[in-house]
Structure 1
Amino acid sequence: MEKGQDILRLDAGEPDFDTPKPIIDAAKKALDDGFTRYTPIGGLPSLKEAIRQKLRRDNNLYYDSDEILHTCGAKQALFNACMTLLNPTDEIVIPTPNWGTYPSLAIMAWARMVEAPTRYEDRFILQPEVLEACLTEQTRIVILNTPNNPTGQVYSREELSALGNVLLKYPDVFILSDDIYEHLNYTDEPYANILNVCPSLKNRTVLINGVSKAYAMTGWRVGFAAGPVDLITEMEKFQGQSTSHTAAVAQKAAEAAFNGGLDDVHNMVKVFRERANLVAEGLSRIDKIDFHPAQGGFYCLPNFERVIESLDGVEDDQQLGDWLLEELGIAMVPGSAFNAPGHMRLSFAADNKTLEKGLDRLHKAFG
């Protein structure tokens, strides 16, 4: 890397937008109104009502307040569910490539992770026959994530329905539907999760969501789980002996986000969609890189295997990550972090100038 060359950060895992002002104003008012003390472990009643209304309005799904648990980010909702459901002899099925936290959930619960591999040729979409081959008498949890981190792909209703038809045959298996990128959907189809296409799975599905990605509130740490009342009750007990709850002021901010409409979200999505197109156009000019255009989230997972083969002294994607940083001044996350060796996760949570410069450097090096 040349001395003084700038580093282009294409590795971010959070939106590069500020939290919308109405949400910040609501938090300030909450502080003035005295929301500085403990809250119920499950969350402020007003927050739980806002989540109930969000699920009805955005997802056409109906939950009672005792079927909802607020958490310290969506990550804790996943953790609570796994620690509540899993025993050491149980298995958790995780489609790969996968977000890096999922395998850790299995490790912490002393359960066994079963990889359900997806293929580039299938847009990294889990195929029903692959899912079925992974399911055994020991299977306790299947995780589904759409829009997907790290692939940027979105499951269609038909693809979810095919998976749902398999899961219907295994009544002891719970589904964790990680919907955190829900609103960052650039396809022509409305967003759908597994319950929108297979509502009969509701008694063993936990929806995982929050405000981090759609509302640019990663630092506020507010997520939620919605699921069967008996399971949510046990998850709340577990949370009560760990973090108790997130800050009261953060809960009021999340309440304002859910109650405040989606105008700011739609404005952010418009920008991300434009960036996804910019990235797709730029990558399409590079012969040695294969990719699927991002359909959601703010990630793309290009295949760099031919690039790796062309570089002396670079044997894998981790070494490629070092090479890109040292030689081109580009920071990306190696695909091995997501069980996707030979790939690199490119984040377009960066401004157009940064993306254009990064794509230009890649094109000059490999085009």
Structure 2
Amino acid sequence: MSRPLSLSSRAEALQPSLTLAISARAKALQKEGRDICSLSAGEPDFDTPDFIVEASVEALRNGMTRYGPAAGDPHLRELIANKITSENGIPTSAAEVLVTNGGKQAIYNLFQVLLNPGDEVLIPAPYWLSYPEIARLAGARPVAVPSSAADGFRLDLNALDAAITPASRVLVINSPGNPTGRVLSRDELLSIAELMRRHPRLVVMSDEIYEYLLEDGVTHHSFASLAPDLQDRCFMVNGFAKGWAMTGWRLGYLSGPESVIKAASALQSQSTSNVCSFAQQGAVAALTGPRDCVQTMAESYNRRRSFLVSGLQAMDGITLVPPQGAFYAFPQLPDGCGDSMNFCRRALEEEGLAIVPGAAFGDDRCIRLSCAVSRETITDGLHRLNRLLKAG
């Protein structure tokens, strides 16, 4: 019998996605006949709007099935640049845009071309679970800057400043945030800009994938629009997955200084090459078509988010910072519940409730629940969670 092949050190160190692992376990239990209620979804529960689908179908019929430019369809890049300029307030040209296979590849490409072994990536916690792993794949060291539910998950600027070392290279900000749903205020972003001015080697990667999913009365600000003097050190990651319900289409983009975008494009040309040609025509339709579908979905999430928040706030011992955007809640568990991994394991095995442990996001005291499901599923999930909490 042959010996198993050894893996690279980077593969050995890589942690698989906990959200995908929980989803797989929940599906396995369903196949066994278990009644499973899932509040773990990290994607919209809407279908992609018809006019976007039709644009890609038409592109297929017109023979758009061949290779395209590695950096993306030129017309799409121009539209994205126009969108960033007019909607986000950041003057951007098509040469400063790279179309990627989802937002995750945008982050991967950026880290690969910016980071060297020994560099540090500053990541405010709680954070989206892939940031640290993508940093490690680039040979960098992720440095978490913690916050807590007791403080409203506000970023502690003093703690962030203290975490900066000569090795610090990238600061990650994510607003609206996954998993907390928190939206960084204008004043907070201006304070981050002041810190950036004191550390000229540091660059910012602003993940704005949830920009359209906002509670009524809450405003999203793009970091670079508030600090034009720092634009040569600012990168935006965004895409079509959340706002237009296009997760499976794998359409994201990276924008920033042209020299880095050119390097990221070269990397993409040697890895995945272009994003699916006909899918990009769906993105063209999304940017040029009506936005009422985006607003309708956002309003639905608002109603369901409020319903989820009310249910969680009614539970004894739960500490919740009400989310202002995205489609998650990130409550802190009562004392005595143990760590989030074991709690979520119990929730799935004992109550058939699929939720995501906060340990995946850098806070082992919390759990993440999604409202991107029906109101009935939210009601069912809240009942199961409450039973588990009462059982101790």
Band the TM-score falls in, shorter-chain normalisation: over 0.9
1:242 and 2:274 aligned: no
Report the CA distance between 1:20 and its aligned residue: 0.4
2:359 is aligned to: 336
2:281 is aligned to: 252
1:79 is aligned to: 108
Matches within 5 A, 1:54-133: 54-133=83-162
1:150 partner letter:
P
Q: Is the 8 A contact 1:289 1:306 kept in 2?
A: no
2:51 is aligned to: 22
Q: Pick from 177, 200, 211: which aligns with 2:206? A: 177
2:244 partner letter:
Y
1:277 partner letter:
S
Following the alignment from structure 1 to structure 2, what is the Cα–Cα distance between the partners of residues 154 and 332?
A: 22
Following the alignment from structure 1 to structure 2, what is the Cα–Cα distance between the partners of residues 138 and 326?
A: 44
1:352 is aligned to: 375
Q: Secondary structure at the match of 1:253?
A: helix
Q: Percent identity?
A: 39
Q: Secondary structure at the match of 1:176?
A: strand
Report the CA distance between 1:187 and its aligned residue: 4.8
Report the CA distance between 1:94 and its aligned residue: 0.8
Report the CA distance between 1:202 and its aligned residue: 0.7
1:44 is aligned to: 73
Q: Secondary structure at the match of 2:335?
A: helix
Following the alignment from structure 2 to structure 1, what is the Cα–Cα distance between the partners of residues 194 and 128?
A: 25
Structure 1 runs (4+) deviating above 2 angstroms are: 3-6, 360-367
2:324 is aligned to: 295
Following the alignment from structure 2 to structure 1, what is the Cα–Cα distance between the partners of residues 343 and 271?
A: 39
Matches within 5 A, 1:309-320: 315-320=338-343
Following the alignment from structure 2 to structure 1, what is the Cα–Cα distance between the partners of residues 148 and 38?
A: 27
1:312 is aligned to: none
1:296 partner letter:
G
Gaps of 5+ in 1: 309-314
Report the CA distance between 1:307 and its aligned residue: 5.5
Change (3 A) 1:5 1:106: closer
1:311 is aligned to: none
Q: Secondary structure at the match of 2:198?
A: coil
Following the alignment from structure 1 to structure 2, what is the Cα–Cα distance between the partners of residues 365 and 6?
A: 16
2:385 is aligned to: 362
Report the CA distance between 1:235 and its aligned residue: 0.8
1:327 and 2:350 aligned: yes
2:222 is aligned to: 193
Q: CA RMSD in A?
A: 1.5
2:250 partner letter:
R
Change (3 A) 1:29 1:323: same
2:232 is aligned to: 203
Q: Pick from 242, 255, 258: which aligns with 1:226? A: 255
Following the alignment from structure 1 to structure 2, what is the Cα–Cα distance between the partners of residues 59 and 261?
A: 18
Report the CA distance between 1:365 and its aligned residue: 4.3
Q: Is the 8 A contact 1:276 1:293 kept in 2?
A: no
Q: Is the 8 A contact 1:286 1:362 kept in 2?
A: no
Following the alignment from structure 1 to structure 2, what is the Cα–Cα distance between the partners of residues 134 and 255?
A: 41
Q: Pick from 170, 195, 199: which aligns with 1:141? A: 170
State which drifts further: 354-363 or 25-34.
Answer: 354-363
Following the alignment from structure 1 to structure 2, what is the Cα–Cα distance between the partners of residues 272 and 199?
A: 32
Gaps of 5+ in 2: 1-28
Following the alignment from structure 1 to structure 2, what is the Cα–Cα distance between the partners of residues 320 and 93?
A: 28
2:299 partner letter:
K
Q: Normalization by structure 1: what TM-score?
A: 0.95
1:325 partner letter:
L
2:181 partner letter:
G
Report the CA distance between 1:288 and its aligned residue: 2.0
Q: Is the 8 A contact 1:54 1:259 kept in 2?
A: no
